[in-house]
Structure 1
Amino acid sequence: MATARYHDISRYLSVEEARQLYVAGDAAHDFDHVWRVTRLAVQLARAEGADCEIVFLAALLHDAPVGEDTLLSAQAVRRAHHLAAAAYAGDFLQHRGMATERVAAVVHSIEAHRFRDQTIQPQTVEAMCLYDADKLDSIGAIGVARAFAYAGSHDTRLWTVPVAAVPPFTAKPQGADYTPVHEHVYKLQNLLATLYTPTAQRLGAKRHETMVTFFELLDKEMRQIE
């Protein structure tokens, strides 16, 4: 994992420090995910003329903290993780001495990165870069792998016949019958259309195609089994 090229982006948080925040993360929300999102977000920031430090810090902290004694420990608050992570990031960066207005920019970026919460929309190019990077990591081959890794860690089934009428993504059901197929129908297949930056849209197009093809093949093979 090459980190040297990112060492000079910010003095407020290092990659090594951030890694320790995610030691208890599940297979889909561990530091590997965070580090992929960080690199994608910085790539987008450079292409779109965004503030790389704001994007870098927001990406490293966007799913923090994870662990038994943290705000994100309970599954019940997983759906509000963006707010918990934003609050954590704000306190952390203020304590490190970052300027108030720049802390606010990081906090907003984290608050606005969640797909299932449409009440907070990205208002800055930095927030758009984080949102897009996080969603790019949810589609394509990586997105498929993450969906099944998360399902496996929660003892859900591999596949079920998708329901004919799906409710809004904000009404995501819970339980063992919520399979990666449902996650694809509810969320993943819709992500490309939500991307903000031209760079992410270009990167996302191929990933989207790969993902859709996989789920089509999975459905075909499953239905061929009598």
Structure 2
Amino acid sequence: MTLAFDTLARELSVPYYEDALPAHDRFHAKRVRDLAIRLADECEEDVARDVLSAAAWLHDIGRPRERTGEIENHGQWAATEATELLAAESVPADKIEAIEHCLRSHSIRATSPEPETLEAKLLFDADKLDAIGARGLVRLACIVGERSGRVGGPYAVIDDPSRLGMEPADGPDISLLREWAKERLEALYTEPGRRLGASRWEFVTEFFTRFNAESGVDGER
């Protein structure tokens, strides 16, 4: 059932990611799905892996529409859309309800409801972990680029001008990536998620140490 459900959810989700930008595309959905199952395998409690896997594939299907302004909240939209898609495939109502909650609560935005089930917490954690670590920093940089395109100008500069004796930039500097990663690290719900997050945060710290050194801030020769 888990494998068949996973395949169904993946096939249903793929068309929605055709216009997605790199930070929220089908590859992100696949990474989140794999991370979520990895975290589930480390849980002592029973996890509905079919629900978790399906929710991971479907969690960002509304991102392309949110980016273009067609919808305001991709999580809420995905929950409604997924309910219709899964009902049409005769998925049991209890499974659909569980997936719907995962989708509504996966976002870190303040308006999103708190994840109440283990599956929803694992999806939230897996999604946030894809913004921490080596791949996470690249993905966050992509999000900065997406936002720059929306506002029609630079969203962040690749440096901290104040530390180089230059005029401050109008927008945030590269430390925004560290702030975003830290925010997601501190929001994690599950013990397996926090363990993996701590490991990935070590790389984030090392990266910025090296980044500053390459700028001459820490005395690179």
Quickly name the TM-score band, shorter chain normalised: 0.7 to 0.9
Which segment is superposed worse, 200-209 or 154-163?
A: 154-163
- Describe the shift of the 1:23–1:51 C-alpha distance in structure 2 as closer, same or farther (beyond 3 A): same
Equivalent in the alignment of 1:37 = 32
Cα drift, residue 83 of structure 1: 1.4
Aligned residues: 203
CA–CA separation in structure 2 for the residues paired with 1:111 and 1:192:
20
Equivalent in the alignment of 1:51 = 48
Equivalent in the alignment of 1:98 = 91
* Structure 1: 5+ residue stretches without partners: 1-5, 164-175
Question: What is the correspondence of 1:143-154 to structure 2 with a 5 Å cutoff?
Answer: 143-153=136-146, 154=148
Richer in helix (by share): 2
CA contact (8 A) 2:157 2:172 kept: no
CA RMSD after TM alignment? 2.8
CA contact (8 A) 2:10 2:54 kept: no
CA contact (8 A) 2:3 2:50 kept: no
Q: Output the amino acid matched with 2:68.
A: A
Equivalent in the alignment of 2:107 = 114
Equivalent in the alignment of 2:175 = 181
CA–CA separation in structure 2 for the residues paired with 1:221 and 1:60:
38
Q: Output the amino acid matched with 1:128.
A: K
> Percent of pairs identical after alignment?
29
CA–CA separation in structure 2 for the residues paired with 1:134 and 1:42:
12
CA contact (8 A) 1:28 1:147 kept: yes
Which segment is superposed worse, 35-44 or 147-156?
A: 147-156
CA–CA separation in structure 2 for the residues paired with 1:119 and 1:31:
22
CA contact (8 A) 1:147 1:180 kept: no
Q: Give the greater-gyration-radius structure (CA).
A: 2
User: Which secondary structure state, in structure 1, belongs to the residue aligned with residue 42 of structure 2?
Assistant: helix
User: Which secondary structure state, in structure 2, belongs to the residue aligned with residue 127 of structure 1?
Assistant: helix
What TM-score do you get using the length of structure 2 for normalisation? 0.79
* Structure 2: 5+ residue stretches without partners: 163-169
CA contact (8 A) 2:133 2:200 kept: yes
1:10 and 2:5 correspond? yes
What TM-score do you get using the length of structure 1 for normalisation? 0.77
Question: What is the correspondence of 1:58-97 to structure 2 with a 5 Å cutoff?
Answer: 58-67=55-64, 71-75=65-69, 77=71, 80-97=73-90
